[in-house]
Structure 1
Amino acid sequence: MLPLALQHARVVAVAPMAGGATTPALVAAVEAHGAFAQLAAGYLTAEALRARIAETRALGASRFGVNLFVPNLHRIAPSDYEAYGRAIAADVARVVPDAAVPPLVEDDDDWEAKVDVVVEARVPVVSLTFGLPDDAVLARLRAAGILTLQTVTSEDEALAAANAGVDALTVQASAAGGHSGIWTRDALPADVPLPTLVAGVRAATPLPIVAAGGVASRDDVRRVIDAGADAVAIGTLALRATEAGTSATHRAALADASFDRTELTRAFTGRPARALVTPFVEAHRDAPSGYPALHHLTRPMRAAAAASGDASLVHLWAGEAWRAGRDAPIADILDDLEP
C-alpha cells in the first residue's frame, strides 16, 4: 500500500518533467483533481525551486512532491567533449551563428542547496532520479518527515534502494519518454515491458510501486496495477495538457504525423533519453556518454531551435505511447486513464 503522503483519490499520477513542462499550475490542477504530481527541480537554481514551491502552494496545492536529480556524473574526457562539439558544430551554426564550443562543465545541479530547500519547505515527498543519494541525505529527509520515492529501472536497483531505506519506488520502463533514470554509466535500460518490470520488482521487494513508461490507455493502467503496482504515472501524455509549460515547438512535434518513432539517444545530454527521431538523432547515434557536459554543450542550440520553431534540433522527449496524447486539460487526460 502507498504511504500516506502518496495516497490520493486516483490511481494515475503525473510524473515530474524537467525543462519547463511541469508548472505550478499543472501540479495544482492535478492535485485539485485528486491525483498526485511533482514539481521538477532539474536544471532550476535552488532559489527558483523555492519560488516554485511557494507558487504551487499559493495555488492551493499541499500534497505534491519535488523531484531532484541525484549527482551521478558521467564524466567525459576533454578530447571526447571537443570532438563531439566539432561533430555537431554545423547543426549548432544553423540556429546559433558563430557559436564556439563552450568550456566543459561538470556540475551537480545545485544538489546540496536544493536538498536544503526541500527540507526547509517540508515538502511531503521528494523523488530521486539518476542514482541513489548517500545515507546522510536519506537520513536528513527522513528526519524532516519527507517521504522518499526512488526511481529504479531494474530489480537490482530496486533492491539497492530498498536496502538503503527509501519509502517507495518509481519503477521506470525503457518505454518512458525523456531521461532514463538508469544508474549505470554507459548502459541502456533493458527493453522490458512495464508490467513485466513491475512484476519482477514486486517479487524482489515489498516497497510500494509507482510505475511509469509507455502508458497509453486505461487497459495499460489495469495491466500495470495487476502486475503489482500501487499507482501509475504518466509523463508524455501530460506534455500536451493545457496547464503544461511544454514549448510550442515540442507540442507541435508531438502532434505531427510525420514523426513515426522514438528511440533512446545520448545526442542531446550525454545520458540515455527517449525522444522522437529526427535527423539530428539519427546523425549522432554514436554520441558519447557525458552527462551533464553534453547537456550544457547542446543547450544553446536546443533553446534557439525551440524559440525559432525548428523542431529538428530540439530534444523532443517522448515515450513510446506519445501518439495517445492530446491537447486537453490535465483533468480530462487523467479521466481517460483512470481504471
Structure 2
Amino acid sequence: MKIPSLKIRNLESRFPVIQAGMGVRVGNAELAAATVNSGGFGTIASVGLGDIEKSKTDFVNESNRFLISEIRKAKELCGGKKPVGVNVMVALSNYEEIVRTSVAEKIDFIISGAGLPIPLPEYVADADVALIPVISSGRALEVVVRAWIRKYNRKPDAIIVEGPRCGGHLGFSNEMLDDMESYSLDKLLPEVKEVLKTYDCNVPVLAAGEIASRADIEKMLSLGYDGVQMGTFFITAEEAGLDVKSKEFYIKSTDDDVVVIRSPVGLPVRVLKSPLVERVLKGERERFSCPYRCLRTCNPKKAPFCIAKALLATWSGDTENSLFMTGCNVDALKKIMPIQDFFDTLKD
C-alpha cells in the first residue's frame, strides 16, 4: 500500500502521521520540528512548561513564557515549515491562556482532549488555526460538534479517535477497559463517521492507540481512517525530551509491565509499573502541597500523588519517583533512534 499524504484545513504533510503531544516535556520543540522535517504533523506538549521554582509563584505567566519559547524554537528548527501545533489538555487550569498564547504565536493547529474542548473555538475566535478535538466515542464527538456549531458556527478540522489501548489519560471507564474489544478502533469508526455525516463535517479522522509500525498504519488506513496519531513509539526518539535513563526504562519494560491506575486528573491513566506506581497500587499516598494548581480537577488533599512532580521526575530521569505514561505496545520500543528512521519506513 502506498502511504498517502494528510491534509487538514490548509495544512498538509507528506505522511498521515501526527506526533502526539506527550507531556511533561516529551513532546518538545526538537521532537515536533523533527517530525515536521520528516514529513508529519509535529506537536508541542503545552503542559508542565516553565522554570520549576518560578512556576510555584507565577504558574500562568511562566507557562506562557516557556510555551512561546518552545513554539518559536520549533518553527526555527524546521525552517518555518508547517505544520507545527500544540496539544492542550482541557483539564488544565490555564487552558484558556495556553490556547490564546498559541494563537497569538500563529500556531498551525491545536489538539485538545482530556475532557471535552467545548470552549476552544471561543478562545481561537477567527484565527486561521486548525482545531482537532480528541474523542473516544461518537457520543462525545456529537456533544462537541453540536456545541461548536450552535455556539460558534465552527466545525472541527479533523478528529482524533483514541481507542482503549492508548497511552496516558483515557476516555473510558475501568469497566470499559475490561472489555477493550467492544470499543476497539474498528468499532469506534462507524459511529464517529455517522456523527460527522449528520453534521455535514467532511474532515479527516485519525486513529490513536497501539500504532507502532508501517503495518499498523496500513491497517488503520484499510479500516477507513485517514491517518494516525502516534505517541508511545516516539517516546524513545532521540529528539524526545526525556532523560536517557527514562528512555532506557521504557526500552527495558515489556507489555506485561503496563497497568491502569487512577490519575489525579480524575481519569484512568495507562502507565508502566515503576516504584511510584507500585506504591500507588499498594494504597500508599504521597502527601504533598501544591504550589502550581495546574489541573482544575486535581484535589491535592485527596490525590495519591502530584502528577506534575511525577512527570517532571520522568523528564529528569528520576526513575524512583517517575510516572511513565504508555500505550499497550511497549514491546515495540527497542532502541533510541532519530524519528527520521521511522518515517523512512513509510517511503515507497
TM (normalized to structure 2)?
A: 0.75
Picking from 208, 230, 233, the partner of 2:204 is 208
1:133-175 per-position Cα deviation (integer Å, ceiling 9, x unaligned): 344x414425111110000011211222232232221111121
Q: 2:110 matched to 1:114?
A: no
Picking from 4, 19, 30, the partner of 2:24 is 19
Alignment of 1:170-319 (within 5 A): 170-180=160-170, 182=171, 191=180, 192-206=183-197, 207-257=203-253, 260-266=256-262, 270-278=266-274, 280-285=276-281, 291-293=297-299, 294=303, 297-300=306-309, 303=312, 307=316, 311-319=319-327
Distance in structure 2 (CA, Å) of the matches to 1:115 and 1:225: 31
Distance in structure 1 (CA, Å) of the matches to 2:277 and 2:213: 28
Instruction: Please tell me whether the aligned partners of residues 147 and 167 of structure 1 are also in contact (alpha carbons under 8 angstroms).
Output: yes
Q: 1:222 to 1:186 in 2, by over 3 A?
A: closer
Q: 2:144 matched to 1:148?
A: no
Instruction: Please tell me whether the aligned partners of residues 12 and 234 of structure 1 are also in contact (alpha carbons under 8 angstroms).
Output: yes
Partner of 1:74: none
Partner of 1:82: none
Cα offset for 1:269? 5.3
1:69-102 per-position Cα deviation (integer Å, ceiling 9, x unaligned): 113xxxxxxxxxxxxxxxxxxxxxxxxxxxxxxx
Q: 2:328 matched to 1:320?
A: yes
Cα offset for 1:4? 3.4
Q: 2:48 matched to 1:40?
A: no
What amino acid maps onto 1:128 in structure 2? S
Deviation larger for 163-172 or 295-304: 295-304
Deviation larger for 275-284 or 120-129: 275-284
Aligned partner of residue 27 in structure 1, secondary structure: helix
Report how many aligned residue pairs link the two structures: 299
Deviation larger for 298-307 or 32-41: 298-307
% of aligned pairs identical? 24
Distance in structure 2 (CA, Å) of the matches to 1:177 and 1:229: 19
Cα offset for 1:338? 6.3
Distance in structure 2 (CA, Å) of the matches to 1:305 and 1:331: 24
Aligned partner of residue 320 in structure 1, secondary structure: coil
Distance in structure 2 (CA, Å) of the matches to 1:282 and 1:248: 22
Instruction: Please tell me whether the aligned partners of residues 178 and 275 of structure 1 are also in contact (alpha carbons under 8 angstroms).
Output: yes
Cα offset for 1:38? 0.9
Aligned partner of residue 284 in structure 1, secondary structure: helix
Distance in structure 2 (CA, Å) of the matches to 1:287 and 1:117: 38
Partner of 2:345: 336
What amino acid maps onto 1:156 in structure 2? R
TM (normalized to structure 1)?
A: 0.77
What amino acid maps onto 1:68 in structure 2? V
Q: 1:233 to 1:337 in 2, by over 3 A?
A: farther
Q: 2:52 matched to 1:51?
A: no
Q: 1:244 to 1:159 in 2, by over 3 A?
A: same
1:186-235 per-position Cα deviation (integer Å, ceiling 9, x unaligned): 88667233233234323432442121111122222112112221111110
Instruction: Please tell me whether the aligned partners of residues 2 and 230 of structure 1 are also in contact (alpha carbons under 8 angstroms).
Output: no
